[in-house]
Every structure is written in structure tokens, then in C-alpha cells.
Structure 1
Amino acid sequence: MTTMLHAAQLLAQPATAENNPVLNIAIFGAFVAVTMVIVFRASRNNKSAADYYAGGRSFSGTQNGFAISGDYLSAASFLGIVGAIAVNGYDGFLYSIGFLVAWLVALLLVAELMRNTGKFTMADVLSFRLRQRPVRMAAAISTLAVCFFYLLAQMAGAGGLVSLLLGIDSQVGQSVVVAVVGALMILYVLVGGMKGTTWVQIIKAVLLIGGAFAMTAWVLAINGFSLGSVLEGAVATSTSTPPEAILAPGLQYGALPIDFVSLALALVLGTAGLPHVLMRFYTVPTAKEARKSVVWAIWLIGIFYLFTLVLGYGAAALVGPEAIAAAPGGVNSAAPLLANALGGPVLLGFISAVAFATILAVVAGLAITASASFAHDIYNSVIKKGKADQAEEMKVARRTVVVIGVVAIVGGIGVQGQNIAFLVALAFAVAASANLPTIVYSLYWRGFTTRGAVWSMYGGLASCVLLIVFSPVFSGNETAMLGAGVDFAIFPLKNPGIISIPLGFLLGWLGSITESRKEDPELAAEMEVRSLTGHGAEGAVAH
């Protein structure tokens, strides 16, 4: 069986030369054209803020489950995790486990209660029984920070993917690609709003899970449907010492196990604080449908992450970690290279188009979340004190999309070559540190106060970002964002979750117990009733 794998690997090597840029662009262009037609059709019904932000609350639980999986299964899930498994084996698969287990936290703690209590954004829930302006401002800033980190990861994936497809090795060429993706993202959101974005995410989820299933079946078929044979092939091409280390824990995190614990905390707790995922709960008509959508999402996401195990080790066996690391796009090129090894340029073109669809769908969801947060929470609630009409608010939201797109393009150019699963883990750390403590306290603790919310969000956000800046992620080594030439890394861990997440909870508690001005007990009781029953969920949330 190992001989068969070596033969397949030899056949796979010239496949990169067969790469057909025209075919790749044609497949991707077809996807963009079809989804753009759907977006234009969906945009006809965008008459109100509820249509633009929440898709008119017209999606069923099943549809929203597919859309959530389309929103959640980002370039990190497909390109980043497959690459991480191909290079680091077992330690790479830990990303899949963390991302999946996180959904149980989201389902049990926040999904139904968020849907019942909020209206358009996460801040609607957090400010329900607290003072509107300071809490909304803090929540909006936190939302924008999480979206920014997440957008960086998607843009990095876009640049690496197209450089692989078109053979573009220059920084300028990759930068142009990132700019094109950013422009398409802006167009999707400006035209389609949440309704158009949701349909793009549903289509993308079907294509991504279907494509991953086909590749998984193909890898298993050429190995006699034996996962053991796939693992043998991965060991045979492994560059680790000993080669079997790719099947055991510790290849990536063995030197500093606490770094893994920190990463695991961020992954498991981060999902329940991701604003673009939380916003999806508002697109369904009832709390029951919100619950149903999360159950669908767990099944779809869980199945997909099982596929990544086979695809990652399959890429290691059929392509080899050295070839993956040397390819344009680096670690993120494992899945496309595996597609090329299996089915040549046609499968490579299809899988790459799916990966592009993945990036476009996720960045569109992030952009609409960030724009809604700025327009609804900062512009209307803070600057205009709730007096802006819906048309004015939506106009500001659309302008914000353009600004976010430009910022994402500039940031995406700056992080080319970074592992995108790793970049997304940083976004999860920010979400778990700044958002989750405030969400949990708001939903479950009547003694929570405005000071607690503000301290928790700003403190969690600031500590997380500062620790990232002074960590090995940012400087001091070859893979750092600033390279090895600059070194001010004084925090040893690559993910700050183990420090910043408990700190966010601590500051929320400390701020609440030290504030003499307690919140209105009637509002606290009303929020509890609404969160549990959904009564009055369609009404205004400002008090």
C-alpha cells in the first residue's frame, strides 16, 4: 500500500505544471456570476433595516443551519486546517476538535437566549438592561476588532490560493488578488445585504461539504478505504523525527504544552462570542428555529471536520509536507495541491473555486456584521441617540462596508504567508476575552452592571491585543508578522487566551461589585423573561 502511495505521489509532482489558470478563473467566474444573480434577486426585498441586517427573519432553521456552517467553515477550516494536519499531524487536527466542540458551548449557553433578547446585533443584548451608550460603544469596538482579525485570515487565504492557481509569486500580484476579493466582498454586501449574503453562504456550504466529501472518498478509495493506509503514507513522507511523530501529540505544541491549553480555551469559548455567528441567530423567526439551526450546523460542521482528518493526512501522503511548504501559499496550499494530485487541473479548479467561494461568503458575513455594528450601535444609538431613521442608518451601514473593505485589503496584504487557521484562532481569542464574559454575565447574572460590562469588554480586548502584539506571533522569528529582524516578543505564548479570557471574566465581576449604581431590577426581570420565552423579541430593545 505504501508503494501505491509513493507512486501516486510521483504522479502528483508534475500535476502542478498542468495547472490551467484559464480553467481556474472560468470556474471561479461562473460561481461569482451565479451568486451575483442570486444576490441581485435577493436585494429586491431589502426595504427595511430588518431586511438588510437580518434577512427579514425569513429563513428556516435548516436554511440557517446551512448558512451558519457556510459562515463558520472559513478558509481557516478548509485551507488552514488541512495544511496544519498535513504538516503537523495530530496537533493540526486539534483545531478541528476545538472549532467543533465550541458549538456545544454556543448551543447550550447563548443561541436561543440571544435570539430571544436581541434584534440586530450583539450589543442589543448586552445593553438591554444596562446604560445604552457606553455598552453599545464598547460592544461595537469589540465587534469591529474580532471582524478585523477574522478578515485578515480570509484575505491571507485569498492571496495564497490565487498565487497557487495562477503561479503568482510576487507580492504585488498577491496584493492585487487581495484587492479583487475585497472589491467583490463590498459588492455582495452593498447589493444583497444579509439576505443575499445568506444565500451565498448556503450555496457555498453545499459546494464545500460536497467537494470535501468527494476528495475524502477519493483518497480513501485509492487506499482501499483504509484510514490506516492513509496514515502509513503520511508517515512515509513525514519530515519529523521520528516520522511516526506526525500521528502523536506534541509535534507543534510539545515544547510548550501550555500554549496548546491557551489555544484550546480560545477555540472552545470563542465561537459563542463571535459577532458574525451570533448575528445569524436573528435571521430566523423563532427561538425554536434558532435552536434547530445550531443543531443542523453542528452536524454539518462535524462531518466536515472528519473530512479534514482524511484530507490533511492524505495531502501529507500524496503531496508531501516539503512540497506543500514550498508551494505558493505555503501551508494553506495543501488542499488545492491534494485536489491537483487526485484529479488534475479540473478538480484543482473546482476545489479552488469552492475555496474562493468560502472566502467570499465569510468575508461578506463579517463585513455586514461590522457595518451593522457601526451603523446600528455607534452611529444611531451613540452619535444620534437613537433618533436616526432606518434609511439613514442603512446608508451609513453601506458606507461602512466600503471602509471595512479597504481596511481588510490593506491588512490582508500585510499578513500574506501566515497560517490562516492560526490567524483565526487569534480572532477567537479576542471574541472569548472581550465578548463572551459580557454575554454570559448579561444573560445569567442579575447583579451585572454597566461598569462590569465596559471593564470586561475593554479589558478583555486590550489585554488580548497587547499580548498578541508582544508575542512570537508578531515579532522575533521567521514566521512572525514582522519577521525575525524585529524582536520585542516578551510574552512566550502564541495565543493569549489562557490569560485574557479569565481576565475578561474577572474584570466583569470586579466592575459589577464595585459599582454602587445598580441596574433597574425590572429591566433585569424583563430580560430574563424575554430570554427564556421570546416574548416581545420583535419589539424595540432600547430603553
Structure 2
Amino acid sequence: MLTLLETAQTGNPIINISIFAVFVIATLSVVIGVSRNADKKAASSFYTGGGGFSGRQNGLAITGDYLSAAAFLGVTGAIAINGFDGFLYSVGFFVAWIIALTLVAEPLRNTGRYTMADVLSFRMSPKPVRTAAAISTLAISFFYLLAQMAGAGGLVALLLGVKSTIGQNLVIVVVGAIMIAYVLIGGMKGTTWVQMIKAVLLVSGATIMALWVLVYANFNVSGLLREAIAHHTGGEAIIRPGLQYGKDWATKLSFISLAIALVTGPSGLPHVLMRFYTVPTAKEARRSAVWAINMVGLFFIVTFILGYGAIWLVGQGAGGMGNEIIAGAPGKANAAAPLLALQLGGEVMMGIISGIAFATILAVVAGLTITASASFAHDIYNSVLKDGKVDAGSEVRVARITSVIIGVLGVVGGIFANGQNIAFLISLAFGVAAAANLPAILFTLYWRKFNTRGSVWSIYTGLITSIVLIAFSPAISGAKSAFFPHADFAWFPLTNPTIVALPLAFLMGWIGTMTAKEKADPRLQAEMEVRSMTGLGAGEALVH
């Protein structure tokens, strides 16, 4: 077994950058190849890849979109640092996926065309609802981009031995440039193929690593946990809840709020829900769900072994405590999976696993960028500002320009977020998505009386409340791990806002509906019920 150097440089930078280059060139080649015959001016081609993917293909693409850098790097690192409390992310992500597919995904796919706002405005006054939904989508996409960009900076810094902040920031700029290239060249079709490839590579690579760890442990999970306990400063506390979230009432409430965010957040994530518009029928949408559940479930079981394996093997290889070695590496907790790969298979294995993680980041940020640009171009520019009178070619052109702007903003935000645990950053995005989108989505789909005022009040309440509470929480200031550790303007004691923002958004949605003079249109309500439950008329625009 290799000895892990207690320096910023691990592995062979030449091998690492070569493997990275292979992944980037290969995926860009796929994007160029599959998009060669696509209609560059067609909105359906740019937003949904023409809606021609099979259930299996889309299931793999959904898996690729859902298993972001947070799932691989962030969750493995969270378990390696905080043990059982870190494993909460795995449990929450998986349970959330089942809820999203059961309650939200298929009805949304049957009712909308390109974006989440298509559904929320289906039986409402279109302009105010589309505006609110688009603003929410852009905000959530930005939060999610922060996490992916932070993961990219830490990962490449680890592999190339980049110690300087300027060097890590340069890496984030390069990631942003490649991401924009994916989107501009391939649109949704190219991005979907990259997601499929990435999903297979990620699940396969993580599974191989987990089996390798079990070989070291003689396929004895109890033995694995004993070794992890021996190589972690927390001792037996890592196999019990409370190491991170059991210190006082504030951390315990933060734990509950985090759990709510993890379970409910994915049902409000626009870039994941948008994936269901890429299949031609409701039956294929259900097949997508089956494939995604199986793949996602397998992956999150694997993260348990990877996290505890990293504690043991990284600590053993460095002759110290695994969690301290990981926390001291460039990228901090996000370095756990690459360092584990180094211990298992040396520099080449580390390069391959990190290349897969890098491809994961590129694919997810490309999907996020398409979702955000589609929301602005389709919902705000065309539907709100131009009253739906813009031709498809002009709309797609605006979407492409928007994707560049979003990419630049993502780079700037990623520079500020560099070094943060990406699973934690994703949990903040989940909290915003849960509060801003989920109440409006559920009310729209399942409450006949729900109306425009209720929808707008619910979205803005959830969005503004969650962002304000995050801004004034220990996640941003007042703590060593905060964005601004040397400042303290935190007055909200919890690190996650969902426990407050989500119920408040539901409440304001109800109050707005009950106090409005406007009544729900029974004709539109009936049409929506038929579409959402049967798929009849799905993909067709609704004319008010």
C-alpha cells in the first residue's frame, strides 16, 4: 500500500491531468457526435433533446443528474469526517428520490413541456406565476452550481498539488468554460448522453472501490467499522448519531431541518424534474423511474462502505487518524474518495476515480445551466416579456446567451464557495428548493382550489425566507467552517432553514388562496387532472 504524503500534492500530476484530458476529450466528442444532426434552432431539441430517449436511457441520465459531486465526493467525505451523521445524507438523498418519483415526477412530466413553470402556470395567471417560478429556478440552480464548482476546485487542487487559492480559482474558471461548451454545442441531447456515460462510470467505479474495501475487511462489515473506529479521533462516536448534530439544542434542530431538506428538496429541484420531459410517453417516464431508483439505491449503499473505508485505509496509509488526514488535504472532506482510491490502487486508480468525479461535475453543471437558461428564455423572455410571440430560434438564441451568463456567475460563486463541503452546500440548495417549489407544486397538482395568489405567495415566501435565514445562519458567518469565518452576523441559530421556511411556504400558499377573490377555473383543473394522471395531451401547449 502506498504511503500517503502529508502534503498538498498526492498522486502523480502528469497521470492525473492526462486522465482528466481523456475524460474531457471523450465526453466532448460524444456531445459533438450526438448533436450533429440536431436542429440547433428548435426549442424541443435544446431543452429536451427532442423527447426521444427511452426509459432506460433517461433512467441512466436521471441517475447521472441526481448523483452529483455532492453524492460521491461530499457524502463520502461527510461520512469520513462525521461518521453516522454524515451517512444521513445518503439516507436522505435516497428516500427523497422515491418521494419525488412517486408524488411529483410523472404528473409534472405529463402536464408540462419544457420547464417547471409550465406546470405551475397551467391553470393560473401565467405571467406572475412564471416569473416567480423562473426566479426560484435561477436561485436554486445558482446554489447548486456553487457546490459543483467548489467540488471541482478542491478535486483538481488535490490531484495537481495546487496549494494557492489563485490556482484553485483558475481550475474553477476552466470547469466553467468546459461546461459552457457542453451546453452550447450539445444542448440537452448532448448533455443527456454525457449523463448516461457518467452514471455508468460513477456507479461502476464506486461499486468496484467498495468491493475492494470489503476485500481488505474480509467482507466483514463489523470488522470494517472496528478499523474505522480505531482510525478516527471520535472513536465509537462515529457509529452513533450525534457526533456533528448532537452537541446542543441548535445542532439537534439543525439535524431535523437538514433531514427535512434532504427528503423534500429533490421534489423541487428543477434540473432533475426537467429530465422527465426527455421521454416520449408516460410509460417511458415510469421506466425511467425504475432504472433511476435501482441505480441510485445501489450507489448510496456503496457510500457507506466508502466513507468508513476512507477513515480506515487513508488513516492507515498515512500512519495517523483518517479524518484528520482527509480534513487537512486540499478540498478537505471532498478529498476522501480520491484519497481512498490512492490507497486502494495507487496513482492510476486515483486518477481514474477523480476523472469520473470530474466528469460528474461537468455533466451536472451542464444540466443545471440548461435548466436555468431554459427557465429564463422560455418563461421570462418569451412567455412574460414577449407574450409568447417569440419564434423558437430567437428563444433558443436567448437561452444560449443566458447559459454563458449563468456559467460566469457560477464561476464567481464557486470561487467564494471553494473549500466548503459540497454535500453541505447541496443541502442548502435542497432547503431552498423544498421551501420555494414543493408547496406550490403539490398544491397545483393536488388541490383544486389553489390559485394564482396562493402560488405566488408560496413561491416567494419559501424562496425569500430560506435565503434570508441561510444568509444570517452559522453556515455563512460565526463558525470556523462558515463562508466568512472571521465575521459574525448570524442571528438564526440553525445551519439549515427548511424547518422554518417549508411550513411557512405551505401556510402562505393556503392563506393566499383563501383570501383571493380569484377562483380556480374548473375547466383548466379538469384538463390538468386528466393530463397529469394519464399523460393524455402531454407536451402540448395550453392556450388560456
Query: 1:488 is paired with a residue of what secondary structure?
Result: coil
Residue 457 of structure 1 is matched in structure 2 by 459
The answer to whether structure 1 residue 19 and structure 2 residue 21 are counterparts is no
C-alpha spacing 1:539/1:347, structure 2 compared with 1 (3 Å): same
Q: Which runs of 4+ in 1 moved over 3 A?
A: 10-18
- Partners of 1:501 and 1:17 lie apart in 2 by 43
Residue 535 of structure 2 is matched in structure 1 by 534
Matched-pair contact (CA < 8 Å) for 1:15–1:341:
no
Residue 245 of structure 1 is matched in structure 2 by 237
Match of 1:145 among 120, 139, 144: 139
Matched-pair contact (CA < 8 Å) for 2:8–2:163:
no
- Given residue 360 of structure 1, which amino acid in structure 2 is its aligned partner? L
Match of 1:106 among 100, 104, 129: 100
Map 1:285-434 to 2 at 5 A: 285-319=280-314, 320-434=322-436
- Partners of 1:376 and 1:199 lie apart in 2 by 23
- Partners of 1:504 and 1:290 lie apart in 2 by 29
TM-score, structure 1 normalization: 0.96
- Partners of 2:361 and 2:205 lie apart in 1 by 15
Residue 62 of structure 1 is matched in structure 2 by 56
The answer to whether structure 1 residue 29 and structure 2 residue 26 are counterparts is no
- Given residue 272 of structure 2, which amino acid in structure 1 is its aligned partner? V
- Partners of 1:541 and 1:379 lie apart in 2 by 18
Q: What is the Cα deviation at residue 19 of structure 1?
A: 1.4
Q: What is the Cα deviation at residue 389 of structure 1?
A: 0.3
Report Cα offsets for 1:179-235 as digits up to 9, x if no partner. Answer: 000000000000100000000000000111111011111111111111111111110
Q: What is the Cα deviation at residue 519 of structure 1?
A: 2.6
- Partners of 1:110 and 1:34 lie apart in 2 by 34
Query: 1:299 is paired with a residue of what secondary structure?
Result: helix
Residue 281 of structure 1 is matched in structure 2 by 276
The answer to whether structure 1 residue 262 and structure 2 residue 257 are counterparts is yes
Query: 2:14 is paired with a residue of what secondary structure?
Result: helix
- Partners of 1:79 and 1:246 lie apart in 2 by 19
- Partners of 2:216 and 2:166 lie apart in 1 by 39
C-alpha spacing 1:235/1:49, structure 2 compared with 1 (3 Å): same
**Structure 1 alignment gaps of length 5 or more:** 1-7
Map 1:48-87 to 2 at 5 A: 48-87=42-81
Residue 319 of structure 2 is matched in structure 1 by none
Query: 1:150 is paired with a residue of what secondary structure?
Result: helix
- Partners of 2:152 and 2:10 lie apart in 1 by 21
Matched-pair contact (CA < 8 Å) for 1:71–1:277:
yes
- Partners of 2:347 and 2:37 lie apart in 1 by 40
- Partners of 1:535 and 1:100 lie apart in 2 by 30
Matched-pair contact (CA < 8 Å) for 2:214–2:220:
yes
- Partners of 2:471 and 2:529 lie apart in 1 by 39
Matched-pair contact (CA < 8 Å) for 1:99–1:268:
yes
Residue 3 of structure 1 is matched in structure 2 by none
- Partners of 2:479 and 2:150 lie apart in 1 by 19
C-alpha spacing 1:17/1:471, structure 2 compared with 1 (3 Å): closer
TM-score, structure 2 normalization: 0.96
- Partners of 1:358 and 1:382 lie apart in 2 by 34
- Given residue 89 of structure 2, which amino acid in structure 1 is its aligned partner? Y
Residue 148 of structure 2 is matched in structure 1 by 154
Matched-pair contact (CA < 8 Å) for 2:378–2:395:
yes
Matched-pair contact (CA < 8 Å) for 2:8–2:161:
no
The answer to whether structure 1 residue 210 and structure 2 residue 179 are counterparts is no
Matched-pair contact (CA < 8 Å) for 2:74–2:423:
yes
- Partners of 1:386 and 1:31 lie apart in 2 by 40
Q: What is the Cα deviation at residue 14 of structure 1?
A: 7.6
- Partners of 1:387 and 1:45 lie apart in 2 by 27
- Partners of 2:450 and 2:504 lie apart in 1 by 16
- Partners of 1:162 and 1:34 lie apart in 2 by 18
Matched-pair contact (CA < 8 Å) for 2:9–2:159:
no
Report Cα offsets for 1:492-516 as digits up to 9, x if no partner. Answer: 1000010001111111111000001
Aligned residues: 532
Residue 501 of structure 2 is matched in structure 1 by 500
Matched-pair contact (CA < 8 Å) for 2:530–2:536:
yes
- Given residue 178 of structure 1, which amino acid in structure 2 is its aligned partner? I
- Partners of 1:343 and 1:316 lie apart in 2 by 16
Q: What is the Cα deviation at residue 20 of structure 1?
A: 1.0
Query: 1:101 is paired with a residue of what secondary structure?
Result: helix
- Partners of 1:357 and 1:149 lie apart in 2 by 19
C-alpha spacing 1:18/1:391, structure 2 compared with 1 (3 Å): closer
What percent identity do the matched residue pairs reach?
62
Residue 469 of structure 2 is matched in structure 1 by 467
Q: What is the Cα deviation at residue 13 of structure 1?
A: 4.8
- Given residue 465 of structure 2, which amino acid in structure 1 is its aligned partner? S
Q: What is the Cα deviation at residue 45 of structure 1?
A: 3.2
- Partners of 1:16 and 1:307 lie apart in 2 by 27
Residue 229 of structure 2 is matched in structure 1 by 235
294-303 or 138-147, which deviates more: 294-303
Residue 317 of structure 2 is matched in structure 1 by none
**Structure 2 alignment gaps of length 5 or more:** 315-321
C-alpha spacing 1:474/1:463, structure 2 compared with 1 (3 Å): same
- Partners of 1:324 and 1:541 lie apart in 2 by 53
Query: 2:284 is paired with a residue of what secondary structure?
Result: helix
Match of 2:36 among 37, 44, 47: 44
